[in-house]
Amino acid sequence: MPTVDLRFTPLPEHVRTARLVAVSVARRAGFGEDQLDEIRIAIGEACARAVSATDAVAGRAGLVDMRLSDDEDRLDVTVLRCGEDGSPLPEEAATATTEDPLSLALMTGAAGSSAPAVAPGGVRLTWVRERDGAGAPAPA
């Protein structure tokens, strides 16, 4: 199972980089163009939530950790806020990502194959590669 781990400072300009990395991993895993657009939207929203939630934590900049794993027909993406050392943020900071229903609705619509699983400090998204049409892997 190939895994990509991207850790970045919680600045809005890094959200674009996270989207580019996620789409690159999904393209390499054989996802179709329609699904790439969905992945781009959901990842952008998840990372933006992590950046804004980290901004809300007074005195702690922290990091945003995005882990992408592709396994056969699935792409699992986890976006979490963490401290400078990679440790989870305190519980009061972890609740900030669950408070925006519009953001959650955008990710749910874009994820398509599954609703986002909200966990303390972040969100987990999963896509299943479509077998017929645009999502099928190219012949070898």
Burial class (CB in 10 A: 0-12, 13-18, 19+), 122: buried
Question: Is position 31 within any domain?
Answer: yes
pLDDT at 4: 92
Give the domain range for residue 116.
3-135
CA 112-117-120 angle, 5° bins: 150
pLDDT at 140: 35
Which residue, among 38, 36, 35, 45, has the nearest Cα to 15 in the 3D structure?
A: 45
Alpha carbon distance, N-terminus to C-terminus of the chain: 19
Instruction: Say what the pTM is.
Output: 0.74
Mean pLDDT per 10-residue segment, the chain (140 residues): 88 93 91 88 86 59 86 84 75 52 65 60 70 42
Q: What is the CATH number of the domain that holds 24?
A: 3.30.565.10
- Total domains, the chain: 1
Question: Is position 97 within any domain?
Answer: yes
pLDDT at 22: 93
Question: Is position 101 within any domain?
Answer: yes
Question: Is position 116 within any domain?
Answer: yes
pLDDT at 103: 65
Question: Is position 140 within any domain?
Answer: no
Which tokens go with 41?
């939207």
